[in-house]
Structure 1
């Protein structure tokens, strides 16, 4: 998963301590990912980066999630009356 590979590279390149990496999740995640993170963080407290990697993979790198995203993409349609194109 690209997100995890990116975090691992930054962590290794800058020799960042694990706590510094996981502390950024509160501001890094947005919308549903932020809600998911906050729920797990409140329930389980501080977790290691390896534990978070496992949780992220279980939540977003599985076939059910990919299928859901594909269906949403395929069913999305541009409506000129309702939607505005990007500037």
Structure 2
């Protein structure tokens, strides 16, 4: 993709891989590079596809998406929404942007989903959804867990 659209040579692409990977992927990259040395982008692309384009990785990503319910106490909209969007587009690359956003909004429980839908008129970009989520969760109590006060038994 980079070579086709941006006319970037293979050497630059493969040299920047260390900055693209994080956590486990970065560890994997360093180990492969230590074992096999420098290679061109097509070789790295083949290794990446072999490592991560399999059923178990796909299932793990699906499970991560299904388990990810938005909770304002645990995560911020600015990090949560793009992560879910990346997971969903990796699982279903042919899915339209509107469907991706609808599936992600279903992960917002209760009145939060409705409040976001009311703010963002379709078709809407991801930035608008993130801004609406940030605005709603910071300015209102929608999306927060409500704890009942203890009752005195005197």
Q: Same fold (TM over 0.5)?
A: yes
Question: How far off is 1:77 after superposition?
Answer: 4.5
SS in 1 for 2:74: coil
Change (3 A) 1:22 1:85: closer
Question: How far off is 1:18 after superposition?
Answer: 1.1
SS in 2 for 1:55: helix
Aligned to 2:10: 18
1: CA distance between counterparts of 2:75 and 2:10? Answer: 42
1:53 aligned onto 2:50: no
Written as runs of structure 1 = structure 2, the 5 A alignment for 1:24-39 is 24-39=16-31
SS in 1 for 2:13: helix
Q: Greater helix percent: which structure?
A: 1
Aligned to 1:5: none
2: CA distance between counterparts of 1:79 and 1:13? Answer: 39
Change (3 A) 1:15 1:84: closer
Aligned to 1:42: 34
2: CA distance between counterparts of 1:45 and 1:12? Answer: 25
Structure 2 unmatched ranges of 5 or more: 78-133, 135-154
Relative contact order (C-alpha < 8 Å, sep 6+): which is higher? 1
Total equivalences in the alignment: 78
In our comparison, the structure showing a higher alpha carbon Rg is 2
Written as runs of structure 1 = structure 2, the 5 A alignment for 1:56-75 is 56-75=48-67
TM-score norm. by structure 1 comes to 0.71
Question: How far off is 1:84 after superposition?
Answer: 4.0
TM-score norm. by structure 2 comes to 0.44
1: CA distance between counterparts of 2:75 and 2:11? Answer: 42
Question: How far off is 1:78 after superposition?
Answer: 5.0
